[in-house]
Structure 1
């Protein structure tokens, strides 16, 4: 299944009764497996979960750790980028050259790299005391 199709299908399952803004995400791992997520809102803002975070959690729960590509889709006039927290989550599991496609349900798409989404990312190297 393509990441586009997987993200589009996941978006349909989003729980967005407050904003009405449904987001779907799909990630492909280095092994070729595809994991999906959708945003899940909660009446106690900001306790919801982003689509990208959901896909990453599913990936980790399945024992995978390396993202090879990501796709995010929303019903918006312009492609919607991941929030700051999700950019850091992507950077945790993806090299800087990994492509992230941001798309609209209307067919617009833009592909950037993880490094372009989060220049100067905080990484494990910052925690090395040796």
Structure 2
């Protein structure tokens, strides 16, 4: 089984759109990512009546990875609703996720996102967020 198939199947198990409360809806978008060490982590979206409180599946997966292992570097990500990414803008992370992943670890610029699952077409975060402002910022990691 190729890694993309493994990521897809892992994320698909989490797809169960449901109301958590009258104000919160979850699991309508799912994500699986491959960490630098090869481990796979999942995330689900959590949407609320107040958009600012929403959490995207990609950020939840990245946070699950960090909390579990301390890792910040991501190799691959697949995110989708009821079917795998099929081209166009399907499977693409929102601007907040793009920014978060770059801030989490600038090496994530090489993270591959699945664009079209059947064609195995991917795109890197660097192409999704060109000219990232943080490239010029010097961050000490003492």
For structure 2, the 5+ residue unaligned runs are none
For structure 1, the 5+ residue unaligned runs are none
Structure 1 runs (4+) deviating above 6 angstroms are 16-21
Does residue 97 (structure 1) correspond to residue 103 (structure 2)? The answer is: no
Matched residues, number: 126
Cα RMSD, aligned residues only: 3.1
- Structure 2 CA distance for partners of 1:57 and 1:51, relative to 1, 3 Å: same
Give TM-score, length-normalised by structure 1. Answer: 0.77
Shift of 1:88: 1.4
Work out whether residues 27 and 34 of structure 1, in 8 Å CA contact, stay in contact via their aligned partners in 2: yes
> Match for residue 47 of structure 1?
53
What secondary structure sits across from 2:113 in the alignment?
Answer: strand
Does residue 119 (structure 1) correspond to residue 130 (structure 2)? The answer is: yes
Q: Which of 66, 81, 85 is 1:74 aligned to?
A: 81
- Structure with more of its chain in helix, by fraction: 2
> Match for residue 11 of structure 1?
15
Give TM-score, length-normalised by structure 2. Answer: 0.71
- What are the Cα deviations for residues 67-118 of structure 1, in whole angstroms up to 9, with x where unaligned? 11111112377513110010112223343232111468xx686411111111
Greater relative contact order (CA < 8 Å, ≥ 6 in sequence):
1
